[in-house]
Every structure is written in C-alpha cells, then in structure tokens.
Structure 1
Amino acid sequence: MMAGDDSAGRPRAARRARWWQLSQRWRMVGVFEIDSKHEFYSLTSMMKEGLQACIQNTEEQDSLTDAHFKTEDVQQCKGFEMHAFAAPVFSALRRSLDISEQEFLDSLCSDANYLQFISNSKSKADFFLTNDKRFFLKTQNEREIRFLLSNLPAYMEHLEKYPHSLMVRFLGVHQIVVPNQLKKYFIVMQSVFYPDERINIRYDIKGCEVGRWTDPEAGGEQIIKVLKDNNFRGQSIALGPEKSWFARQVKADAAFLQELNVLDYSLLLAHQPLHQDELDGKHSFADLILRTTKSLDLEDHPTDPDPSHVPLLHSRSEDVQDGAGCGSEGPEPTQETMCDVELKEFHEHNRRLLPNFKNAIHVIDGADRRYFVGIVDIFTVYSLRKRLENLWKKLRFPGRDFSTVSPVKYSQRFCRWIQQHTQ
C-alpha cells in the first residue's frame, strides 16, 4: 500500500516541478538576471549599496518645506559616492503610498540580483527591475533630472490635489559618481505592471497613428512586446462605472503636463481576467470596508473597522442594519458633519474606491478584467527642436496624426483617445 502511495505521489510531484519551471520561465520573459558576469553587475551593485546608505540615512519629516526640495545628500561608499536629491520629499511620497522605508529597503537592497528589462522600446535609457519586479530603476540624462527636480514642487502639489492620479510615482532621484570614471543619474519608480505574473499583453498609448504599430512576432521570445495604438484597434477599456472617473483623471493629469509644456507622454496599459475569487471578493462588504479605509487615506487602518466610523461607507451601505447610512434618521451632529466633509473631500480630489491591492494606484477593476494603467515618459519638453520636428512632420505626413505636436493639441488628442476607447 505504501509503495502504491509513493508511485501515485511521484507524478504529482513531477507535475508540480514542471509547473514551477514553466512559471519561472514565464516570470523571466523579457528580463535577464544581472549576475556577476553581466555587463551591468558593477553598476547595479553600486546602486544597491548606495541606495541602502541613502534610505537608512533619510530622516522622516513631519512636513515639507521649500528647503527639502533642494537638498542633495551625499553618501560616501567604497570607491564611489551616491547622491540623493530631495530625499525627504520622496520619502514623504513613499509614505503616502503606504510603502514603509523597511519595505522599500528590502526590495531595492535584497541579496537577490536586479533584473535587466528588455523590450522593443526605442529609449536609449537602461531599465532595471528589483528582483520582485515591484520597482523600476531607469538611467536618465542630466537635462531630464534637472527638469524633474525643478518641477518637483508642482508634481507633489498635483499628487496632493489628486491622490489617485495616474501619473507614475517617482520614489527617488540619485547620481552615482566614480571619481574620474563615471557620473550616472537614475530614478526609482513604482512599476505600473506589478504584480505581472498574469499579464501577457502590454500597450503604450499616445493617441496618434504614425509609427504606432508593433509587429507582435518581431524580436524573438525573450523580448517583452509593448504594443501600440494601432495594435489596439477594435478593442476597448471596459471599466463600467469607473469610466467617468478614469476620463476625469486622465484629463486632469494631461492638463498638468500641458502646463509643464510637455508632450510625447504615454498611457501604459495592460489587463488580465479576474478570477472567480477576485470577482466574489470585490463585492463583499468586508472588502468594501478595507477599500474605503484605504481610499480615504485615514490615519487609522484597523483590520476590522467599525463601519459606522468609515464615513464614505454611509452613502454606499443601504443593506446595513442599525441605521449606519449617512442619511439615516437620528445621527449625532458631529458624525453627520464628518461624513459630509469626507464625502466632499473625496469628490473634490477625484478619489475612487481603490482595490485592496499592493499597487492600488495603478490598478482599476472592470466588470471582469483587471487593468493596469499609468502615465509615463513625462520628460519631453516642446523645445525649439521639437517645434522644428513638428514642421517637418507636417510636410512628410500631411493630414495624419503624429506624436510631435504642441502640448495643447497633444493633451486634447490624448484625452479624446481615452474617451473613445473606454466603455
């Protein structure tokens, strides 16, 4: 009998082993582990060591001042310096996303190697991922870094006004300096596509047509194919009740970028089907309480909150007994006032009910699909060079939509594409 059990167990163990191997292969599609033989091993090792020193030496601030936006901290490491720009500001931004410093440190500075991200992008920058794929590190040139830092107060003000903005979250700006050898700027960002285990298709949307097609078969299996606008024809982003919120937020974010005189930004988009347990959980009252608490950014995050103390729930819980609703008879005056204030603030800042998810800012659940969305690539300014490029493209592509247009036209066209492709 024991022998029979052993023989029956072996095929199951073999199947589990094969599944694990397949999942690992799928996890590594489009990325390469940066081991000691990799050309970027030295650079990424310096990134890790320097980031650890910077994070551990960043002091938490109760409130930000103008001076915090101008700080440049230097950590002396073995053979190089690590510069951290506006560190208190980015630390505050991480806290607003419920990313603790320890969590950030564990992901960026673990013993596991970084991953090199390989895609069909035309960018000349180098892209790296933490081993858990939660954070992106991207090299930038000095002009782009100066542009980001000079507009950092406006960026933070926009995120304060719209806490659920679709803008990519920058979580650190740094420079590695090796005397007489190397000066390399890089930024740390929250990955839009996290977690990506079930994502098998990605899009980069600009709202135009010229040069916006990618051959899905080109480049080989080891490159992540990021498809473009023309690949998306005949499809839609099915958000249901979230459609109007999505359109409003894209409009607000595009207006902000227009004020910065920026063009050529993209909406990163991916989706995956929701599993049955996710569909069931989405409609449970316990999940609604957690999502509401998360979405209101309350100071207290109880694991089992009393619904009567979560104001937004009052307007969404007609099923709840004992008169928990905001409009129920006989509420105490102070409770009613709190409810009104929270709801007003909720709508004024275009908040939404975030999913109970690690990467909630970039995740929107439709009726049966989970969408990952984020606005990225915000460093292209409408300079004299871009104006001349606009004139040249008008001659070459008369009557057609191309990416290099004025920020006003780019913003309007971008929003129009979103409106036309969302339902």
Structure 2
Amino acid sequence: MSQTEMEMSAGLAEGTQRTGTVKRKMWGGLRQQWKLLGLFEIDQQHDFYSLTSMMKEGLSAAVQNTIDNPPPDELSEDDYRLEVTQIHKAFRMETFAGPVFASLRRSLGMTEKEYQHSLSNDGSYLQFISNSKSKADFFLTNDKRFFLKTQNKREVQFLLSNLRIYMEHLEKYPHSLLVKFLGVHRIKIPHRRKKYFIVMQSVFYPDDRINARYDIKGCEVSRWTDPAPEGSQVIVVLKDLNFEGQYITLDQHRPWLLRQVEIDTSFLQTLNVLDYSLLVAHQPLHQDERHQCLSFATLIMRTKKSWSFFRTKPMTSRSVITCSSPTHAGMPTVPGVVPEEDSALLVSEMDGGTGSCSVTESRVGSDLGSAPSGRPCTKQPVGTVTDSMELRDFQAQNRRLLPNFRNPLHVIDGPEHRYFVGIIDIFTVYSFKKRLEHWWKRLRHPGQAFSTVSPPAYCHRLCQWVQDHTR
C-alpha cells in the first residue's frame, strides 16, 4: 500500500471513529435529556426544597385565612384589588385577589379544606421538568391535582388586570376548557428576588393510566419532540407533528368540543394573546368504562344530592345538575350551568336532531323530582318516563362530564379512549416585539406554519387543527 493510500485509509478510519464519537455524544445527550424529563420528588437535598417548603407554609396560612373569612356572595372591585400579606419566620407571602379565587374554587365545588390539604400536606411537592422553552419552574402537589408555576411580574399583572372578564367567561361557560387559575401569590425572602407563582388545576389529573401527552399549537415549525425510549417511564410531552395520523375520536361529543374550542379561543383573541397551547392526553377505556349504564334511579339520586352553582344568589336558569363520585365519597361537585341558548343546542346534538326530548325548565334549587316538561323519550318502560326525561336533561347539561370522575371539567370520553383536554399558557400578548418576531419568522420559514402569528390567525388555526384531528 502506498503512503498516500495509507494516509487516506487512516483518515477514513479517524473520520469513522469521530462520527461514531459524535453519534455516541448525541445519543448520550438525548439520554441525559430524557433522564431530566419527568417528575422528581423535592426532598431535603433538592435545590427547590427551601422554596417549596415556604410555598406550602404560606399557602396553608393563606387558605386558612379564607376559611376564617369566607368570600362574599357578591364580589366587589375591592375584592379584585385586594392584597393580603402574611408574615412568616423567614419570608412574607402576599396573596392577590384572594376572595375572587376562593369564589372560583367554590364554584368548582372545591372545599377550602381539601384545597388546603392538597397544597400543604406532609407529602413532598414534585418538580416537573418538561421540554418546554419556558423559563418557569413547574411544581405539582404530591397528589398531582394542582400545578404551581412561577411567573414573571408582567404575566401576573396581565392575569390580574383581566381577572374580571376571565371570571365572567367561566361564569357564562362553566365547562370552558381554559385552565382554572386558583390563586396568585408572591413570596418575599430577605435579600433575594421576589418570586411570583400561580396555582392551577392540573389538566392531566389523575394521570395513572395516561399513555400519551401532547402540547398542540396548530403549527409545524419546531413542533416535533423525540419520544421517550420504548418502555421508559420518562414523561415526554409530545407536539403537533408527533400527533399526525392520529385522531381524537369522540363520535357524538365532537360537535361540543369543536364549539367550546371556538368559544374559548375567541375569548383569548379578545385578550390579544397568542402562543397558548391545547393540551391533549389519552388513555384506553377499560371494558366496564365503555358502557356506563348506571340505573336511572341511582343517577338521579346522586344528582339530587349534588347541586353546584357558580353564584349562591337565587337565579333562574335551565336545569343545573352535577354529580359527585360514588367511588370517592366526599369528592366535590362541579358546575353545570349551561346558558339557555346552549341547552337546546346540546339536546338537539345529543338527539341527532330528532327533537325527541326537550330541556326541562326549572328554578335553581328546585326539587329535581318534579316532572319535567317536554315529550317523553322513546323506547322506555312506562314507569321510567319521568326519570328518563330527567336523566336525558342531566346528560344534556353534563354531556361531557363523567359522574364517577375526579376531574370532569377537562375530561371527555370517546367510544374507546378517555381524553384530557385543556387550554393553557394564555399570557403571551401580541406586542410590538411579537409583531417583529412574526415578520422575522416569515423570512426564516417561508411557506411554513409557525407559532407567532396574529391572535385572529392563531385562533382560526387552532380551531382548524381540532376540526381536522377529531372525528
């Protein structure tokens, strides 16, 4: 072999070795990234142990203040502007608009005692590390029911300045998919920066059987995430491109989802925001969950015991019916108010347009046992006509709520899968900076769909994604 050939051979061998080294480093980096994703218990050796301990102590005292001073039935402007400071040994905790968030928790059928217990029991908080570009820190309560997320001052001010219209939206659409904000707080530690954080309901609760999670924005640029290795316990939140070729299969519940997504994204458009995400997760239904044919009598009895209202003052509305779980005694009820114009639509959709049933007109708080108006449903035994009508009214008002489930406002059952759905991250305003980013991305990604577009375009695109990926 000539000298030249030997040098070429050595060069190829070195190149091959270098390529193998690069590949190993890349794979090692991915493995390290996967190791960092997921949930980690915040024990005494964890960097966030001190902060989360303060959060737990401060939240326990803040909720106790609400227990001792319940919010009024009617909120005032002062309640929206209220700031309460509680002094602890090593820090101060400020609670913003406490009566407003307490009122929202009450409207969700959540007692202050159970909220306090979840936030401050002996179990450690969990740190959630995702592949999100957000610089925020995410924590979960030990029971995984509530998320705590650090926010910057601008985001907190945005939420508080729009809190009234957010509350009005949830009052009008109590089955909204928007994430439910349950508290806004600030911790002041001497000689350290102030730390703002919010408390939210977790969309993915309970997550025991969830087998895939997605963060959807309705676009394609930077919307792929490498899945976790086969059999790995690492939690990876996938993105739009990972979802391609799949569908959210809901059958008769599909029209409701399409309409509610349109309603919620239109509301966000009025706030001039973009870059929010539609969270989607799914799990297979067990055989006994696919046909929850509970007896009429049992369901109606549960309903009678489980009224829940957004406001406590008397009001006239369509039937407002909610259920608590028979398998979780003492679990809270959930709101069931549906505006009158929506009630007829829901029944029409449920009946497939046959008009075989009409919605019961009733005064909130009246006894459900009274006979409803409207024609009886077909194919029912004579003795069950009244119960059947009430049951169908119940189904219309709660057509996506699961009476036996612990997180009914973010759950929809299809024929074979249970879906968890919610809209999060609603703080990005379409500012001048975002407009510049939009034009830069148009030059960088010609002909491709990216996240930074105007609020009307963002709203339309996400609705179109749901339209295209449901059936």
TM-score, normalised relative to structure 2:
0.74
C-alpha contact 2:214 2:238 (8 A) present in aligned 1: yes
C-alpha contact 1:51 1:108 (8 A) present in aligned 2: yes
Of 209, 226, 229 in structure 2, the residue corresponding to residue 198 of structure 1 is 209
3-state secondary structure, aligned to 1:214: coil
Quick check: 213-222 or 239-248, which moved more?
213-222
C-alpha contact 2:127 2:138 (8 A) present in aligned 1: yes
C-alpha contact 1:292 1:354 (8 A) present in aligned 2: no
Aligned residue for 1:187?
198
Shift of 1:217: 3.7
Aligned residue for 1:321?
382
Give ranges in structure 2 of 5+ residues lacking alignment. 1-35, 310-319, 327-365
C-alpha contact 2:37 2:130 (8 A) present in aligned 1: no
Rounded Cα–Cα distance in structure 1 between residues aligned with 2:166 and 2:373: 27
3-state secondary structure, aligned to 2:292: helix
Shift of 1:277: 2.1
Larger Rg belongs to: 2
Q: Are the structure 2 counterparts of residues 156 and 81 from structure 1 closer, same or farther at C-alpha, using a change threshold of 3 Å?
A: same
Rounded Cα–Cα distance in structure 1 between residues aligned with 2:185 and 2:447: 43
CA RMSD between the two structures = 3.2
Q: Does 1:51 align with 2:78?
A: no
Give ranges in structure 1 of 5+ residues lacking alignment. 1-27, 329-338
Aligned residue for 1:358?
406
Shift of 1:30: 1.5
Shift of 1:136: 0.4
Q: Does 1:37 align with 2:37?
A: no
Q: Are the structure 2 counterparts of residues 276 and 41 from structure 1 closer, same or farther at C-alpha, using a change threshold of 3 Å?
A: same
Shift of 1:324: 3.8
Shift of 1:223: 4.1
Shift of 1:264: 0.4
Rounded Cα–Cα distance in structure 1 between residues aligned with 2:406 and 2:371: 21
TM-score, normalised relative to structure 1:
0.82
- Same amino acid, percent of matched pairs: 59
Of 101, 119, 135 in structure 1, the residue corresponding to residue 130 of structure 2 is 119
Deviation string 1:312-371 (CA, Å, 9 cap, x unpaired) is: 99876862534644999xxxxxxxxxx9xx97x998xx8634112111000001111110
C-alpha contact 2:83 2:97 (8 A) present in aligned 1: yes
Aligned residue for 2:438?
390
Rounded Cα–Cα distance in structure 2 between residues aligned with 1:313 and 1:47: 53
Q: Does 1:412 align with 2:460?
A: yes
- Counterpart AA for 1:400: Q
Deviation string 1:127-171 (CA, Å, 9 cap, x unpaired) is: 000000000000000000000000000100000010000000000
Q: Are the structure 2 counterparts of residues 353 and 267 from structure 1 closer, same or farther at C-alpha, using a change threshold of 3 Å?
A: closer
Q: Does 1:249 align with 2:297?
A: no
Rounded Cα–Cα distance in structure 2 between residues aligned with 1:219 and 1:385: 41
C-alpha contact 2:177 2:261 (8 A) present in aligned 1: yes
Residues 121-140 of structure 1 mapped to structure 2, 5 A cutoff: 121-140=132-151
3-state secondary structure, aligned to 1:83: strand
Rounded Cα–Cα distance in structure 1 between residues aligned with 2:465 and 2:272: 20
Of 226, 232, 237 in structure 2, the residue corresponding to residue 226 of structure 1 is 237
Q: Are the structure 2 counterparts of residues 409 and 203 from structure 1 closer, same or farther at C-alpha, using a change threshold of 3 Å?
A: same
- Counterpart AA for 1:308: G
Quick check: 116-125 or 368-377, which moved more?
116-125
Shift of 1:181: 1.9
C-alpha contact 1:209 1:400 (8 A) present in aligned 2: yes
Aligned residue for 1:74?
85
Aligned length: 381
3-state secondary structure, aligned to 1:57: helix
C-alpha contact 2:81 2:96 (8 A) present in aligned 1: yes
